[in-house]
Structure 1
Amino acid sequence: MVTSKLEKMEPSELGPFGNVLAKHGSVFELESEQFALLSRIAAKRVEWLKGEIEELDKLSKTFSWEMPYAGYYGYKEITEFLHGPQQSMTLRGEESDEKFSTFRDAKKFAATCNQDPIPESSYIAKAIEGDGAFRPRLE
């Protein structure tokens, strides 16, 4: 039962199982069911990893702030920032659906951004005050 479930799993999900089997693999007989399972998992995983490496090789190898797979639904300007080369951005309330009439509003929005991180991205959001306006800033 466990064997059939493991064989049906996506290769990307097999890492922990392969690690456990590999850790105890030295006690498996070469003809055992466990060794055969480890071999099948390893083969699936290796093929998947080759594909992942191929995809990564297509990306630019030079450092960039760009996060092409990141997206923040409902905030086009945040998604554009994440896809672009800029190191930081300030979300201006007048350019978005959000209106930050108080510093607390901007701080609350920044906290929400930090609590619910955008997949495939890395940033810190904080509230700033300037030009008589309150704004969240992503860095």
Structure 2
Amino acid sequence: MIYEWEMKSSSIEETTQLAEKLATHLAKGDVVTLEGDLGAGKTSFTKGLAKGLGVTRNVNSPTFTIIKEYEGKHMMLYHMDAYRVEEEYEDLGLEEYFEGEGVTVIEWPSMIAEQLPQERLSIHIQYTGETTRNIVITAFGQRYISICKEIFEA
């Protein structure tokens, strides 16, 4: 079962507020994937999720470290950037993160598509202008569909 929802964001603040709101509905073991061109707002979205999870540290892209862990007031945030991951992704222990004590956010998930859990929340951010974005959220699995309906149909 799949659920898809689309919205327009007119600012970085609006995008991060959406992510912050989403974070309040997430639980340990949830997986959120983020797709979009460079500069589309993937890391800004992650900053909103982090704020919603109670992370107080500065969140930035884990481009060269691949995985950054942030301790939040409510739970951990595992922020991954799979852009530079090649065949070695099996050595990263991704399943441990997916089933771990926090929320896993993956930028460039297409690079590790075979490793992704079937049930997840997929977010595609498309750059449409200086501050505007088109955001498409696709929920795979009943848990994520319920979260989306609660947020977007309330």
TM beyond 0.5: no
Q: Which has the larger radius of gyration?
A: 1
TM-score of the aligned structures, taking structure 1 as reference length:
0.24
Which structure has the highest helix share of the two? 1
Higher relative contact order (CA 8 A, sep 6+): 2
Q: Name the TM-score, length of structure 2 as normaliser.
A: 0.22
More strand by share: 2
